[in-house]
Amino acid sequence: MSLLSQFSPHFWLLFSIAVAIAVLRELRRPSDDGDSWRDKH
């Protein structure tokens, strides 16, 4: 499990960056369709 413990910090760092970018992109979009984020999985 040493490989997983070494991979986890980088994974969560990249994951948090990806979430932040996605949130910023959603906030910058015109909010005429508020349900667009729900069906974009």
Mind listing the pLDDT tens digit for each residue in 15-37?
999 999 999 999 987 666 656 66
- The span from the CA of 7 to the CA of 23, in Å, is 24
Dihedral angle of Cα 7, 10, 11, 14, to the nearest 10 degrees = -160
| DSSP codes, 1-41 | -HHHHHHHHHHHHHHHHHHHHHHHHHHHS-TT-TTTTTT--
Type of residue at 18: A
Backbone dihedral region of 37: left (phi > 0), alpha (psi from -120 to 50 degrees) or beta? alpha
pLDDT at 41 over 60: no
pLDDT value, residue 22: 95
